[in-house]
Amino acid sequence: KQEVTQIPAALSVPEGENLVLNCSFTDSAIYNLQWFRQDPGKGLTSLLLIQSSQREQTSGRLNASLDKSSGRSTLYIAASQPGDSATYLCAVRLTGANNLFFGTGTRLTVIP
């Protein structure tokens, strides 16, 4: 079974800082990897999707990287803002599978 681990579990930073969230997974036979954002009481919003053949994806202040061979992904958030406060979830989809395997998330707080 695919195990997905996210470090740290919680992170608190002052506004304006750059930060990195980490995700590791045990089975490298992945089809793709996604980073989601979850706000309290709301569903998940997909932020970035990286196909297994790609090394990184960028959207605005967000950059996600993927190293399949080492089973790692990072989400880099530049110039953090209070509105970035949320739980960030990493999820992988295995080749031939339909469902996602999620990590336990990193709860980010950006202090004004």
Partner 1 sequence: GAGVSQSPRYKVAKRGQDVALRCDPISGHVSLFWYQQALGQGPEFLTYFQNEAQLDKSGLPSDRFFAERPEGSVSTLKIQRTQQEDSAVYLCASSLTSGGAGEYFGPGTRLTVL
Q: Which two tokens mark 70?
A: 């080492």
| 3-state SS, residue 82 | helix
The pairing of beta strand 106-111 with beta strand 86-94: antiparallel
Residue number, 6 or 80, with CB nearest to partner 1? 6
Cβ neighbour number for residue 28 with a 10 Å cutoff: 15
Q: What are phi and psi of 83, to 5 degrees?
A: -65, -10
For partner 1, the binding residues (CB under 8 A) are 4, 6, 31-32, 36, 41-46, 49, 89, 91, 93, 98-105
Least distance to partner 1 from the beta carbon of 78, Å?
Answer: 25
Residue number, 43 or 112, with CB nearest to partner 1? 43
Residue number, 14 or 96, with CB nearest to partner 1? 96
Least distance to partner 1 from the beta carbon of 79, Å?
Answer: 27
